[in-house]
């Protein structure tokens, strides 16, 4: 076919000898590569918004940067596919193959770089995998990878029947990075699909996300073992000691893992619950593999091991019902109008915004104390994660203003001190000394 085109071009006078055909094919390849770039640009403009919408729906990640990356990935992948088809349609000369090879390698390298960075992997990882893709494609098109792999395999040593070389290290590193990137993408998509499901409650969603994450990691591990060709039976000699070491070393970790799964299964503690464990009081932010994150009203985050929540008493304010009752004691003077006091206390608690109307607040006279008549306000709230101190302070401030407005006295303890005798009391006062310059009496 090349000879026919060469003869045709020579007959038309476009080339003087068959060797000049490679320059013509190089120009044709450059035009085809330009056309592929333009087609990729146009197609990316048409469909990238739809692909971005699908990604945002499945992965739950929306940003202008993600849309730009998807647009660039569509353009580069389309260009690479068109160049690959053109390469297989005709036995191109060396110059045309170089043009196509550079275009294909650069497009796929940039595609891999955008893909890795798009799933929030480090920038250096995207650069590394992009360069590895570029070198692999160029090497495979011009001479193959055998010279490179042979040179890398020479750098190493033999240990028994196993060869440890630079090629072995690079292969393991690239395999781990690729599987880790793929696992993160799959885990993110699966987690968002489970999290956006309407048929599951928050606890079931969290449990499903954790199980999906474990399954993805296990699958990635076995795929990596199979890809690298590692024979696990070679480790059978060390399996007993290794398993025993893991059993003792990871005893607490495994215990916390299963304790967290049990907590999610029986729904005794869920994200958003308000709990008190020992001196820690706050709302549950996250149930992790090892510990439960509890955020206090002071903004401090306490990490409580899952096993502690299984073995110690936990006060859950929102386990079966989110309504929590608070008590506010108040004392008034014996001279106060008790019917007016009761009315003002009801008014103060009824006007508080977070207090529920059902169940209705209650006001009770509780005690005739030494210095005051004690009352107690009992009111219900439905958002204990919002704190108790602020609602108490709001009600007390309303009580203070109403009491001050209606002349209700809030007593405070008073003590009368009787001093029976002071040191030196009852002694005669010493005579005043006469001035030194006064005249003596006769």
Whether 416 is covered by a domain: the verdict is no
Does residue 235 or residue 354 have the better pLDDT? 354
Nearest by Cα to 284 from 324, 314, 256? 314
Establish how many alpha carbons lie within 13 A of residue 316's alpha carbon, considering only the half-sphere containing its beta carbon.
Answer: 18
- Of 270, 287, 316, the position where a domain reaches its end is 316
Whether 380 is covered by a domain: the verdict is yes
Whether 341 is covered by a domain: the verdict is yes
Same domain, 125 and 259: no
Same domain, 6 and 58: yes
Same domain, 273 and 341: no
For 222-279, how does the pLDDT look when each residue is reduced to its tens digit (9 = 90+)? 888 777 776 666 555 555 655 666 666 667 777 777 787 777 777 778 787 888 887 7
- The arithmetic mean of pLDDT across residues 334-358, rounded, is 89
The Cα 200–Cα 198 span in angstroms is 6
Whether 366 is covered by a domain: the verdict is yes
Asked whether 146 and 202 are in contact (CB, 8 A), the reply is no
Residue 365 predicted with pLDDT over 90: yes
- Of 112, 144, 176, the position where a domain reaches its end is 144
Whether 414 is covered by a domain: the verdict is no
The encoded tokens of residue 122 equal 């480090």
Same domain, 269 and 344: no
Same domain, 393 and 330: yes
Domain that holds residue 379: 324-406
What is the rounded radius of gyration, in angstroms, for the C-alpha atoms of the chain?
41
The Cα 210–Cα 214 span in angstroms is 6
What is the bridge-based pairing of β-strands 324-332 and 280-287?
A: unpaired
For 403-428, how does the pLDDT look when each residue is reduced to its tens digit (9 = 90+)? 999 989 888 776 777 777 766 555 54
Residue 375 predicted with pLDDT over 90: yes
Nearest by Cα to 273 from 305, 308, 309, 312? 309
Helix (H) or strand (E) holding 301: strand 301-305
For 122-170, how does the pLDDT look when each residue is reduced to its tens digit (9 = 90+)? 777 778 778 888 877 777 766 665 666 676 667 777 666 666 677 777 7
Asked whether 92 and 100 are in contact (CB, 8 A), the reply is yes
Same domain, 340 and 294: no
The Cα 129–Cα 181 span in angstroms is 11
Whether 35 is covered by a domain: the verdict is yes
- The arithmetic mean of pLDDT across residues 312-328, rounded, is 81
Same domain, 271 and 382: no
Torsion of CA 223, 228, 233, 236, to 10 degrees: -90
Same domain, 115 and 53: yes
For 182-220, how does the pLDDT look when each residue is reduced to its tens digit (9 = 90+)? 887 788 777 777 777 776 667 667 777 777 887 888 888
> Please, which pLDDT band fits residue 340 given cuts at 50, 70 and 90?
very high
Same domain, 330 and 308: no
Asked whether 274 and 317 are in contact (CB, 8 A), the reply is yes
From first CA to last CA, the distance across the chain in angstroms is 161
Same domain, 332 and 290: no
The encoded tokens of residue 403 equal 């009491």
Q: What is the CATH number of the domain that holds 392?
A: 3.30.70.100
Global confidence as pTM: 0.47
Q: What is the CATH number of the domain that holds 275?
A: 2.30.30.60
> Please, which pLDDT band fits residue 378 given cuts at 50, 70 and 90?
very high
Same domain, 297 and 340: no
Same domain, 73 and 99: yes
The Cα 131–Cα 137 span in angstroms is 10
Number of domains comprising the chain: 3
Whether 247 is covered by a domain: the verdict is no
Q: What is the CB neighbour count within 10 angstroms for residue 31?
A: 11
Whether 286 is covered by a domain: the verdict is yes
């Amino acid at each position: 076919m090349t000879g026919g085109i060469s003869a045709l071009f020579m007959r038309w006078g476009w080339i003087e000898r068959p060797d000049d055909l490679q320059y013509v094919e190089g120009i044709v390849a450059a035009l085809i590569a330009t056309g592929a770039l333009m087609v990729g640009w146009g197609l990316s403009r048409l469909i990238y918004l739809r692909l971005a919408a699908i990604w945002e729906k499945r992965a739950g990640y929306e940003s202008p940067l993600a849309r730009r990356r998807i647009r660039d990935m569509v353009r580069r992948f389309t260009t690479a596919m068109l160049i690959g088809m053109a390469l297989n349609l005709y036995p191109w000369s060396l110059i045309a193959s170089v043009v196509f090879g550079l275009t294909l390698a650069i497009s796929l390298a940039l595609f891999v770089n955008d893909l890795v960075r798009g799933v929030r992997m480090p920038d250096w990882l995207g650069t590394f995998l992009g360069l590895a893709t570029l070198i692999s494609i160029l090497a495979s098109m011009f001479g193959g990878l055998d010279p490179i792999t042979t040179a890398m395999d020479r750098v190493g040593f033999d240990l028994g029947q196993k060869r440890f070389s630079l090629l072995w290290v690079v292969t393991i590193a690239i395999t781990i990075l690729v599987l880790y990137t793929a696992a993160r993408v799959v885990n993110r998509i699966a987690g968002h699909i489970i999290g956006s499901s309407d048929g599951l409650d928050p606890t079931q969603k969290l449990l499903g996300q954790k199980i999906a994450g474990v399954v993805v990691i296990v699958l990635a591990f076995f795929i990596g073992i199979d890809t690298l060709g590692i024979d696990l039976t070679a480790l059978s000699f060390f399996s007993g000691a290794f398993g025993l070491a893991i059993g003792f070393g990871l005893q607490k970790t495994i215990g916390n893992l299963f304790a967290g799964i049990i907590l999610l299964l029986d729904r005794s503690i869920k994200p958003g619950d308000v709990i008190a464990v020992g001196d820690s009081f706050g709302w549950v932010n996250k149930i992790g593999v090892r510990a439960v994150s509890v955020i206090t009203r002071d903004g401090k985050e306490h990490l409580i091991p899952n096993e502690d929540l299984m073995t110690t008493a936990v006060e859950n304010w929102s386990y079966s019902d989110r309504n929590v009752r608070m008590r506010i004691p108040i004392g008034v003077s014996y001279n106060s109008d008790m019917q007016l006091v009761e009315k003002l206390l009801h008014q103060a608690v009824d006007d508080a915004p977070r207090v529920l109307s059902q169940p209705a607040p209650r006001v009770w006279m509780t005690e005739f104390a030494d210095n005051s008549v004690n009352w107690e306000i009992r009111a219900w709230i439905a958002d204990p994660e919002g704190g108790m101190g602020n609602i108490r302070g709001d009600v007390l401030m309303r009580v203070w203003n109403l009491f001050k407005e209606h002349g209700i006295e809030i007593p405070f303890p008073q003590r009368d001190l009787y001093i029976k005798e002071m040191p030196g009391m009852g002694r005669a006062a010493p005579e005043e000394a006469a001035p030194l310059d006064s005249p003596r009496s006769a």
